[in-house]
Amino acid sequence: MQIHILTLFPQMFQSPISSGILKRAIDQKLVEFNIRNIRDYTHDKHHTVDDSPYGGGAGMLLKPEPIFEAVEAAKAEISPSGQAFRTSPEEAANTTPIILLTPQGRLFSQPIALELSRHSHLILICGHYEGVDERVRQHLVTDEISIGDYVLSGGELPAMVLADAIVRLIPGVLGSEDSPVDDSHTTGMLEYPQYTRPPVYRDWAVPEILLSGNHAQIARWHREQAISRTLERRPDLLGKANLNREERQLIDRLKN
Ligand code: ADE
């Protein structure tokens, strides 16, 4: 996968892509980051990227021209790369999501991360100042995403959040030992509690069932714990979770 990021602060991305799973994915050529500075697509002496809004109002808006040109440059570079490339370059350029990070976007979630992880290319635009000229929304971007109901000073941290959540879902990025299938939210529920050695620490013992070696009972315990934890912390998730009749009955018992 190629991830193109358009930003006014390219240096912010250096650290996140230089360690951990993102770095490993880059080293394994499973993902390539292409980070470009929106300011490089200005043509005036002062490299102006923003201007005041027509009709008045507080703050400055990102101008449309450098953003359109930076996206066009990214699209022109969309080329066969890595194993993720499954379409012709023309088709890839036309079907590539062009995502504006903005608090006005749809709320990011694990299903959205999974959907985006299936694309061979993504273009992420980091908004700034009070916002962007509306024509970017109307005529350039194909999607707008928010990472939560709060306002950050720019789209850079949200773009990193998306990149991290998406890249770890690309097949081959995580080893089988840290596979994402049991992750909180992948199952539609929060993850069950987990323990490692020692079996007793400061009088606190690991639940006996986990030491029993009975895999069927352990799997059942995991499922029950995930359900009770989700019920306690995020009951809103249970409405959408895929539960069988027995599990629904367990919820009713726990509620009582
Ligand atoms: N830019 C500023 N705040 C944001 C948010 N919550 N999500 C995405 N982009 C943003």
pTM above 0.85, yes or no: yes
Ligand 1 nearest-atom number relative to CA 150: 6
- For residue 253, indicate whether it is catalytic: no
What DSSP designation does 53 have? P
Is the CB of 152 within 6 Å of ligand 1?
Answer: yes
Domain at 200-255, CATH homologous superfamily: tRNA(m1g37)methyltransferase, domain 2 (1.10.1270.20)
pLDDT band at 83 (very low <50, low <70, confident <90, very high): very low
Identified catalytic residue from 183, 191, 224, 247? 183
Q: How far apart are CA 87 and CA 78, in angstroms?
A: 11
Identified catalytic residue from 36, 50, 64, 168? 168
Give ranges for CATH 3.40.1280.10 in the chain.
2-167
Residue type, 92: A
Average pLDDT, the chain: 93
User: How far does residue 155's CA lie from ligand 1's centre (Å)?
Assistant: 5
Please state the rounded mean pLDDT for residues 214-229. 96
Please state the rounded mean pLDDT for residues 170-188. 80
As given in the structure block, the two tokens for residue 52 are 């005041």
Give ranges for CATH 1.10.1270.20 in the chain.
200-255
Q: What is the CATH number assigned to the segment(s) 2-167?
A: 3.40.1280.10
pLDDT tens, position by position, 147-157: 999 999 999 99
What is the DSSP track for 63-103?
-HHHHHHHHHHHHHH----TTT--S-HHHHHHH--EEEEEE
Is the CB of 101 within 6 Å of ligand 1?
Answer: yes
